[in-house]
Amino acid sequence: MGLIFMILGGSAVAQRTEKKEGVPAFTNGVVYSLPRTGIRIYVTATREKFFFGPYHDYAEVLLGIKNAPSSDRETWTINDIRVETFSEPDPGQVHRTSGQAAALISLTPSGTLAGINATVETPEERFPVATFLGDTKAPSIPFTDLSLNSFFEKVDSANRNALVIKSFEEKVQEAAHTITKLRKRRFKTLANGYDEQLPDGRAYEVMVEELDKLEKEYVALFIGKTYKKTFEYCFDYIPENNPGAGEVVFRFSEGKGVLPVSDMSGKPIVIEMKKMDNLASAQAKVASASPSVSGILYRVPGKSEIRILNGITLMAATRADIAQFGTTTYLPDELLDGNYRVTFHPATGGIKSILQK
C-alpha cells in the first residue's frame, strides 16, 4: 500500500507543483495567442429609383417642360467610406507559457494575451453584417391619385347609374389646369403674407407648404418621381505580413450598387496597404538584442498607409497601427515576479501600461 501511495503522489506532483509562496506552477502551461489587426471598411451608398411620369408626352405642350424623361432608371452613389481596425487571434502566433507566468496571465474571451497580473476589461466584440438582400421600400405604384377632379363625366341626372369615364387626354388636361390653379393660389397666399399677416404665423407656413407639396405631386405626373434610400455595408480584410499591390474588397456598379467580390458585374474597389519597413526593421533589430527566458511573447505593432481605390480614383486614405507589420519580442523577466501589472492594447498587442503593485 505504501508503494502505491508513493506512485500516485508522484503522478500528482508531475502535473502541478506548489511554490513556497503558494503560487502554482503549471507544467503543461497555458496557451495564448497574439493578436493580428484586420481592416473593417464601412460603406454608405444611396440608391435613387426614378419612375417616369405617366403624362410625360404632354409635359412640353401643357407645362412648357422640355425633355421629360420617358423611362425608369436606378442609379447608385457611394456617399462615404470609413476605415476602422479590429483584432482577432493570429493563427500564426499561438504560444504556450508555463511556470509562475502561467498563473499571472490574463486572456481575452478569444484567447488573446490581455495582461499579466492584472484584471483586464475587454470591450465587447462587434460583428457587423453586410447584407445584399433586396429592398421593397420603393412602391410598385409610385404615383398616387390626388386629383381634385372626378374621373367621370357628368351624365344625365335622370339616369343615376350611368357613368362615363373621362379619356386619358381629359385627365391630362385637368392635371395641367390644376397645376396652374395651385400656382395662382400659392402666389395669392404669398402676396397676402406680405400685405396682411395672418393671425397665426404657423398656419400661414403650413398653407404654403401644403400648396407646394400638392403642386409637386401633380408636376411629378409629367416629369416623374424619385425615391431615395441609403444603405450601409461593411467588409473585413486581413492583411498579410507582406501585402501585395492591392486586393479587391468589394465591387460597385452605378446601376446595381454595392456588390460582393464574386459579382463580376461591378467594378473592383481595391485596398492598398504600404508597410513602413524602416520602422519594422528598427523594431526587429532592438527586439533581437533583448534576450529573455520568460517565455511570454508580445507584439510591437508596425504601421501602414491604407488607401481605398476605385480604379485610379482615391476614395479614402488613412494610417493605422498593424500588429502583424511589427515584430514579436519577449516580456522582460523582471515583470513576472508578481510585483507588476502589465496590460496590452487589445487591438495591436503592444504594451499599454506597466504599474508596480
Distance CA(299)–CA(326), nearest Å, equals: 7
Q: How large is the average pLDDT for residues 229-236?
A: 91
Per the prediction, the chain carries an average pLDDT of 79
For 285-327, write each residue's pLDDT tens digit: 666 655 555 678 888 898 899 999 998 899 999 999 999 998 8
Is the pLDDT at 147 greater than 70? The verdict is no
Residues 6+ apart with CB under 8 A from 48: 74, 75, 76, 77, 226, 227, 228
CB 290 within 8 A of CB 329: yes
For 118-144, write each residue's pLDDT tens digit: 887 766 667 777 777 666 566 666 776
For 39-86, write each residue's pLDDT tens digit: 999 999 999 999 998 889 988 888 888 999 999 899 999 999 999 999
Residue 278's SS3 state is helix
Q: In degrees rounded to 5, what are phi and psi of residue 22?
A: 90, 5
Q: Dig out the grid coordinates for 317 from the structure.
A: 486614405
Residues 6+ apart with CB under 8 A from 75: 47, 48, 50, 254, 255
For the chain, domain boundaries: 16-52+76-137+228-356
